[in-house]
Amino acid sequence: MVQLKPLDKKVPIFEQIKTDESSVVLVNVFDVAEDDIPALLAAWENDANWMKKQPGYISTQLHRGIAGSTVFMNYAVWESVEHFRNAFSHPEFQEAMQAYPSSVVASPHLFTKMAVPNLCTE
C-alpha cells in the first residue's frame, strides 16, 4: 500500500480537502523503488482511469524525473476541492490504493492558481 507523506506538514492533504476552493490542481509526487516502477505505473493508470470518470475531473498528466530518477509527479486539474474530495474519499478509490507497491511514498497537495502581474493570470 502507498505511504502518504505530506508535502506541507502544516497543511496536509486531509486538511486541504476540508476547504471549498474552486478550480484546483492536485500535484502528487511519488518516490518509488526502481524495481517497483512497473507496479506503480499499473496502479496509477488504473486510478487515473477511474478518476477520469468522476464528476469535476478535468485532466491529468504523469511526469517522470529525468536521468534515471525514480521520482514521478502527477498533475491533475479538478473543478473544485469538493469534486476532488468526493473522488479521493470514495471507498473504491481508497481500496485501489492497496495496489500500490509498499515502496511508494506519495506526497499529494492541492494548489490554486495565483495572479502575478506581467507573468501569470488567475
- Does the pLDDT at position 7 exceed 90? yes
Residue whose C-alpha cell is 490542481: 25
SS3 87: helix
Average pLDDT value for residue range 65-89? 97
Q: Which domains does the chain have, with CATH numbers?
A: 3-111 (3.30.70.100)
**What pLDDT is attached to residue 46?**
95
Q: How far is CA 66 from CA 31, 59, 107, in A?
A: 13, 23, 19
- Does the pLDDT at position 57 exceed 80? yes
Residue 62, all three cell numbers = 504523469
- Does the pLDDT at position 121 exceed 90? no
**What pLDDT is attached to residue 1?**
80
DSSP 3-62: EE--SSTTS-HHHHTTS--EEEEEEEEEE--GGGHHHHHHHHHHHHHHHTTSTTEEEEEE
As a whole number, the mean pLDDT across the chain is: 95
Q: How far is CA 121 from CA 81, 89, 115, in A?
A: 20, 31, 5
Read off the pLDDT band of 38 (50, 70, 90).
very high
**What pLDDT is attached to residue 30?**
97
